[in-house]
Amino acid sequence: MVHERKVYKVLVVVDVQNDFITGTLAVPHAARAVEKIVELLKTDPFPYDRIYLSQDQHPPQTKHFDKWPVHCVAGTWGADFPPELSQALVRHGLKVHYVRKGNRKDEDGYSAAFGMTGLEAGEEVQLWEDMRLTCYNLCHEVSGFEVDVVGLATDFCVLETAIDLRTTLKTDYTEPILLPEDFETTVQILPDLVAGIDPKKSEAVITLFGKKS
């Protein structure tokens, strides 16, 4: 009997935080995207095996605020997730892997791939390392990894996250964790579940990274 290996599905929710929806750095049409994300999170049965939730967590003063209005300062309302997101997450009972980014004074922290996430043991690693380790642990049980990226904003954090995950999940990206050559990873953006700042750039991002339905 042929043993069919399934694809492991990962959802990365980027920066669905109050300041990006209705706060100091509100992204146009963010509410619509968030509504769709919440809908997806409520899907039963839930189609994903693993969820990462990234969170911009800036210090009160950072060089990042030379370029942007003050937003998502750690511990403030603006950095919180909207209640509808938190409520949807509680429903399906899956463990959520939180990813903290942008918390140093000298970084922009656009890419969730390089944000920090907790391991079971309590130590933190970067998201891409955590994902790669998961690939390694499962590579004989599953045929590949399918990563869907959603959230805010299409042309900054979502874009950077998708680019970096595509690079870091490649089989030949780094030693010492080697993945089987036939282990396939795909990283795609779900076009209806993102919202962008610059419409032209956001459209280009979707053309390059958008999941074709």
CB of 20 to Zn ion, least distance (A): 9
Note the helical H segments in the chain. 18-21, 30-41, 83-92, 127-138, 159-168, 199-209
Is residue 56 involved in binding Zn ion (CB under 5 A)?
yes
Residues 132/168, Cβ–Cβ less than 8 Å: yes
134 alpha carbon, distance to own chain's centre? 15
One character per residue 62-101, x = contact with Zn ion (rule: CB under 5 A):
----------------------------------------
The smaller minimum CB distance to Zn ion, of residues 28 and 210, is found at 28
Q: Does 19 bind Zn ion (CB under 5 A)?
A: no
* Whole-number Å distance between alpha carbons of 210 and 188: 6
Residue nearest to Zn ion (CB): 56
Please give the structure tokens belonging to residue 3. Answer: 């043993």
**Options 32-40, 50-58, 89-97, 167-175: segment touching Zn ion (CB under 5 A):** 50-58
Least separation in angstroms between CB 63 and Zn ion:
11
Site track 94-123 with Zn ion (rule: CB under 5 A), x = hit: --------x---------------------
Q: Contact at 8 Å (CB) between 48 and 11?
A: yes
In the DSSP assignment, the letter for residue 198 is: S
**How far apart are the C-alpha atoms of 208 and 198, rounded to whole Å?**
16
State in angstroms the smallest separation of the CB of 137 from Zn ion: 32
Binding to Zn ion by residue 155, rule CB under 5 A?
A: no
Q: What is the contact surface with Zn ion in residues (CB under 5 A)?
A: 56, 102
